[in-house]
Amino acid sequence: MINLNNKWIRGVVPALGIHLCIGSVYAWSLFVKPIAAQLECSESLVQVAFSLAIFFLGTSAAFAGPLVEKNVRRSSLISCLCFVGGLLMTAIALYFKSLIGIYLGYGCLMGIGLGIGYISPVKTLMMWFFDRKGLATGIAIMGFGFASTLAKWISTPILAATGSISATLAILAAIYVVPMITGALLIKKPYDDSVSVAHENEVPFKYTRILHNGVFLMIWLMFFLNIHCGLALISVAKPMVDAVAGTLADPISGVALGGTAVAVMGIFNGAGRLAFSAISDKFRYRANIYIVIFALSVASIVLTLLFGCNPYVLIAMLCLISATYGAGFSNLPTLLVDQFGMRNISKIHGLSLTAWAVAGLTGNQMSSAIHEYSGSYTAVLYWLIPQFAIALAIACIVLHKKKTSPSPKTA
């Protein structure tokens, strides 16, 4: 008889089922050009849907924490309904050629599903893997990182077979509803944590209290800089490699090196989420892993500036930065647990994701503005060094405060 009440069935499978679906939001670039052609509008207008989705991800996560704390199964179901409903609404909007409908469906409704679904399984996983919290969050958030690659594998043949983006999105909604509903039905906490845990010295959660907490604000800024810089670099990775490589192609696939670089960066993005999270379990203070992450980011950019004239060196450095970018996401929940305890982590984690919402609106725009002004993609790298350095300094301050704190932080 299979024991269904274990950490894999009740924690890992639901988390992967949900995150492998909602992470497909990063496959939006597949549809931008054909949607712009169908609606006879600019690609930049279509890209607004993605920016809205990331914005609503962050804002909905900020307010969904109490719902997740109260009933993780219900929050997972709501996530499924919003995410799948948003995809269907987008498909219908495309059929009627409504750009506003796409904004409302893909940007708003699906974005809300993204935010709720992103935070729903995280605390449950950490409860099941209490001694390996980093590994637990790495598993879930790795799924989010790999989801775009999986979505491309699924979407491309469907689009080729149907010849319709609207039909493709509707079919994807029908596919995604299965693992998301399954995950929502299976997910379960290992114990009831509805009562306060005395030894954690917790106090009642209040948004005003956490927003006035200096350590939280530093972590928020550190997380924002990680995403802001990561998106700024990812958005110019392909043209940057193409500019260095010229007509040079991948000898195995024959594809231009820029396209190969983006695909490999996606793999490192997902792998970095799991690898760095697992490594963080070895540290006494998890702020150490962010020092490693940002130090590697600065070193990678410096090496890129020194040796980036070689396209293969450039790709290797971009892959390393992509891995550290992904690691910034997966290590956030465990860092917050270190600082504020487990009791209200869904609320605090959700609130911290507002940094993602803001960075989603600034990262790409910064790199575009710098390139437009300077005419060089290399100029973007020079701007990223001081920003990553600031994030590194913040990580060092957070670590120092944790080491010198006489008692556990509360929220």
Per the DSSP assignment, residues forming a β-bridge with 256 are: 249
- CA–CA dist 190, 7 (Å, integer): 8
Region class of 254: left (phi > 0), else alpha (psi between -120 and 50), else beta: left
Torsion of CA 52, 298, 395, 61, to 10 degrees: 10
Residue-level pLDDT at 364: 80
Looking at the structure, tell me whether residues 249 and 274 fall in a common domain.
yes
Q: Is residue 1 part of a domain?
A: no
Task: Describe the crossing of helices 378-404 and 354-374 by its angle, rounded to 10 degrees.
Answer: 150
Residue-level pLDDT at 92: 97
Looking at the structure, tell me whether residues 230 and 177 fall in a common domain.
no
Q: What residues make up the domain containing 148?
A: 7-190
Residue-level pLDDT at 377: 82
Amino acid at 117: G
Residue-level pLDDT at 284: 85
| SS3 category, 354 | helix
Beta-carbon contacts of residue 276 (< 8 Å; ≥ 6 apart): 138, 289, 292, 293, 323, 324, 326, 327, 330, 331
| SS3 category, 256 | strand
Beta-carbon contacts of residue 36 (< 8 Å; ≥ 6 apart): 42, 43, 45, 46
Which residue ranges in the chain fall short of pLDDT 50? Answer: 196-201, 203, 254, 407-411
Per the DSSP assignment, residues forming a β-bridge with 249 are: 256
> How many structural domains are present in the chain?
2
Residue-level pLDDT at 199: 42
Find the CATH number of the domain harbouring 365.
Answer: 1.20.1250.20
Q: Are 171 and 368 in contact (CB under 8 A)?
A: no
| SS3 category, 249 | strand
Per the structure block, which two tokens stand in for 334? 């465990």
pTM confidence score: 0.87
**Which of 169, 190, 211 lies at the terminal end of a domain, its last residue?**
190
**Which of 160, 190, 220 lies at the terminal end of a domain, its last residue?**
190
Residue-level pLDDT at 256: 66
Per the structure block, which two tokens stand in for 213? 């907490």
- CA–CA dist 268, 271 (Å, integer): 5
Phi first, then psi: give them for residue 251, nearest 5 degrees. Answer: -65, -20
Looking at the structure, tell me whether residues 263 and 396 fall in a common domain.
yes
**Which of 190, 208, 229 lies at the terminal end of a domain, its last residue?**
190
- CA–CA dist 135, 298 (Å, integer): 25
